[in-house]
Structure formats: C-alpha cells, structure tokens
Amino acid sequence: MIFRRALQRELASSAGATFTVLFTVLVTWTLIRVLGSAAGGKVASGDVLALIGFAILSYLPTILTLTTFIAVLAVVTRSYRDSEMVVWFASGMSLRRWIRPVLTFGLPIMALVAVLALGVTPWAAMKRTEFVERFQKREDLKRVAPGQFRESSSADRVFFVERSTAGATVVQNVFVNSNDGNRNSIVVAKEGVIETDAKGGQYLVLTNGRRYQGTPGQADFQSMEFERYSMRVATRVPVLGADTPINALPTSSLLAVENQYTRAELLSRISQPIVCLVLMLLAIPLGFVNPRAGSSANMILALLIFFTYNNLTKLLEKSVQRGKLEFAVAWWPLHLLAALAVLGLFAWRLNVNHRWHPLVLINAWKRKRIVQHATAAPAKVEAQ
C-alpha cells in the first residue's frame, strides 16, 4: 500500500512536469501559427484567442498520451538508476506488481483521451471551421483592416482603405486594384458604401473618385472622374457550414454514414485511447536502464516508438480512406501487434535466469566492480 501511494505520487509529479513542458511548447507553436494566419489576412484578429483554444483541444489527446508514456517511463527509469529495482527484485517482488498502480494512474487519463477524441476534438474542429468560414465569407471590405492591403475572396482585386466607420460598411479614402485577365484598372475614391440588392448581390458604391485603366503611355490608357461608381464585391449571401470537413463531424454522424472517409476518421478517433493504454504498459518493461548509463537513450527510444506507432496508425487511416483496407480489418492488427510486443518485453524482463535480464546485468556489473577493486588494491601496495 505504501509503495502504491508513493509510486502514484511520483507518477503524478512526473506527469505534471511533463505536461507543463509539452503544453507550453504546444501553446507557443499554436500562437505563432495562428498569429501568422491573422497577419496574412486568413483569420480575424479578434478570433485569435478562440482559435488557439480550439487548436489546443485538437492536439490535447496526443499531448496526454505522450505525457502518460513519458511519466511512466521516467519513474521506472529512475528506479533502475537509483538501484531501487535491485531491492525490489531481491525482495521477491515481480515487475508485474507495477501494472496495477500504473493502470490506477493511467486509466483516468485514457478515459479523458477517449472523451476528447470522440467528442471534444470534433466540436473544436467544427467551431474552428465556423470561425474561419465566417471570416472568409464576409464582404470583401469588411475583411479589410484600415491601413493594410487585402485581397478579395475572388483573388482578382486588392483593396486598401485608410479608415472605416459604421461597422466597416462605410470606408474612406479607398484604393481598389482590379485585374480581369488582360486588363488592369485602378480606382481611387474618397468614400465607399456597401449596398445589397434584392437578389443578395453586394456592391461597393464609390463616390468622388477617379478610375485609371490600361498602361500609362499606351494608346489604350484611360482616365475618368466620377461622382458615383458601383462595383460588385459579392454575388450571393454565403451559407456557413456548407462544406464541413470530416474531422469536424460528430462521432454519431460517422457511425450513421458509412463510407471510406467516415470510417477512416472513426479509426483515427478510436485508436487514440488504445494507443494511450498500450504505451503506458509498454513503458514499464521499457524503462530498464543500466545504473552506470544515462537515461537519455531510453527517452530517445521512447520518442521513436511513440512517433512510429502514431505514424503507422495514420498510415492505416489513409489506407482505409483510399479504399485499400476495410475498417474491420484495419483497426485491430497494429494494436494487437503492439500488445504482443508489450507481453514479450514483460516475459523477457521476468525471466530472471536470462543473461540479459536487468537483475543479472546489475549483479554482473557489481561483481565486475568488486573484482576491479580487488585487483587494484595489491597493485597500489606494491607501488608503495
């Protein structure tokens, strides 16, 4: 009982430190990416914090899985490095006794990963899609920030306004560069107003300006002044949610609609809690380390295993998406192979008579040190 409580406290402490580091890296990377999108005019600056939150929720299952794997591995590795496992094995205790406290610590995290993967992550993807679509499908001038050049949604116009008023429907000191293929025209005006007709068409009505068309110095160059000039900026009222990505669909919709795309997304979601469970059990036999050696090799190997496992899961997902594998065949073989690898490592570590068993290696290292000290002592006496 005392061992379990101490182990769970140490696992919680290690997991807290690991999660803090990984979460900080995730937030920093997400902040840079979202701010870059906002600076490039792809998302609204007012939606940055919400988009960061949705992105973090999308990556949280992976972060929790990696946190659990590293926490268990670090605790087991420290026990070997501090020779606590020597006392553990010498007391007649088996490595299997680690499974229960590790599962007590890890099963709530695995349940949280399942809830996030099956429910929260699709919701976050849906909300992120709505925020991006709402900005992308706004009127062209409502997307323009004063003092910045912005491209229209149809990619054939560039707008610049000095300032905007009345909820961005009225803009002042307007510059519009239009390109219809072969000809280029520039329109400058003191003021512009967005108007909508009965069919949903949206027009930018400019007043008191000039229009330049053609190439200066050529015969086709034209220049004209106007008091009122109408320019179409949108042809219909946009409908949000018309193009919902697969990863934003709720799990119930994936179960109701059976095709290769929904099955591939369902495979991705159900694999995340299974990967979390397999990796936390794999960390127990994988944590062996020679007390004389450092623990960095174990950590590098653990990261390679984690990324390889996830990449193989993505490979199966793509195979189902392309119709090369059926869902019923693709979801279980990789996890079964990983579970067999866990059982194989446990059997290898539990075989105390094997020459590569951790206890045998530690005892051999201790005997070697004793022999070295015994042979070195006479040599010092003779030298004196």
Cβ atoms of 316 and 330 closer than 8 Å: yes
Phi, psi of 98 (to 5 degrees): -80, -20
Tokens of 219: 């015969």
For Cα atoms 150, 152, 155, give the angle at the middle one, nearest 5 degrees: 110
- In whole angstroms, give the CA distance from residue 329 to residue 336: 12
Which residues lie across from 50 on neighbouring strands?
A: none
Q: What pLDDT does 347 receive?
A: 82
Q: What pLDDT does 107 receive?
A: 93
pTM across the whole model: 0.70
- Tell me how far CA of residue 361 lies from CA of 186, 287, 352, in angstroms: 80, 14, 10
Q: What pLDDT does 364 receive?
A: 66
- The low-confidence residues of the chain, meaning pLDDT below 50, are 139, 235-242, 353
Which residues lie across from 21 on neighbouring strands?
A: none
- In whole angstroms, give the CA distance from residue 249 to residue 247: 6
